[in-house]
């Protein structure tokens, strides 16, 4: 009986470790929140991404780069971002820890820059929210569209490609 309890406990712990989902830590939240990001919104997000060893693989905060812009809920970024950005207020900052199954999985990305089965760490800041084509029209906060990000690896584009090739 005792061995059955130990086995079940071990299976439970493994299940929790594998199926944790995105870990979200809010590091800054504005005093007032007039709008929260939801599916269908066009969001602009500053980010820095790192591997578990702390090695940064991409950032929108380097000179010449702009925040990434995408429609939330449209599958244009990794699933961990979809979950981690939803509900954010403009100006809010979050740290996201994304397991491989909600990131790039067994294939990795960026020609080896993100290895297979990598857990990804992101620091994010929601810069703006605009109503998407599916959720009405008009700009929620008056933010302009970003310029080309230029330079670096645009992992938003990799995420879009990943959707099309079935990653």
pLDDT band of residue 128 (cuts 50, 70, 90) is: very high
**Could you give the count of Cα atoms lying within 13 Å of 118 in the half-sphere of its Cβ?**
24
Catalytic residues: 47, 57-58, 78, 104, 122
72-126 tens-digit pLDDT: 999 999 999 999 999 999 999 999 999 999 999 999 999 999 999 999 999 999 9
**pLDDT given for residue 21 in this prediction:** 95
Site of tokens 């429609």: 71
Report the C-alpha gap between 160 and 89 in whole angstroms: 24
The model carries a pTM of 0.71
**pLDDT given for residue 132 in this prediction:** 80
**Could you give the count of Cα atoms lying within 13 Å of 42 in the half-sphere of its Cβ?**
17
Beta-carbon contacts of residue 57 (< 8 Å; ≥ 6 apart): 49, 50, 51, 110, 113, 114, 153, 155
**pLDDT given for residue 134 in this prediction:** 57
Statement: residue 163 has pLDDT above 70: no
pLDDT band of residue 152 (cuts 50, 70, 90) is: very low
Report the C-alpha gap between 89 and 34 in whole angstroms: 7
3-53 tens-digit pLDDT: 444 433 443 343 334 447 999 999 999 999 999 999 999 999 999 999 999
């Amino acid at each position: 009986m005792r061995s059955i309890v130990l086995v079940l406990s071990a299976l439970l712990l493994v299940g929790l470790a594998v199926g944790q989902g995105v870990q979200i830590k809010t590091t800054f939240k504005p005093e007032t929140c007039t709008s929260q990001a939801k599916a269908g919104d066009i969001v602009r997000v500053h980010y820095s991404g790192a591997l578990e060893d702390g090695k940064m693989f991409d950032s929108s905060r380097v000179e010449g780069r702009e925040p990434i812009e995408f429609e939330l809920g449209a599958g244009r970024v990794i699933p961990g971002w979809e979950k981690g950005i939803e509900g954010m207020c403009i100006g809010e900052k979050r740290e996201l820890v994304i397991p491989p199954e909600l990131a790039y999985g067994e294939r990795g990305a960026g020609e080896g820059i993100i290895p297979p089965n990598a857990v990804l760490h992101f620091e994010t800041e929601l810069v703006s929210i605009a109503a998407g084509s599916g959720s009405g029209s008009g700009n929620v906060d008056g933010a302009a569209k970003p310029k080309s990000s230029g330079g670096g690896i645009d992992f938003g584009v990799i995420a879009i490609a990943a959707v099309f090739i079935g990653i």
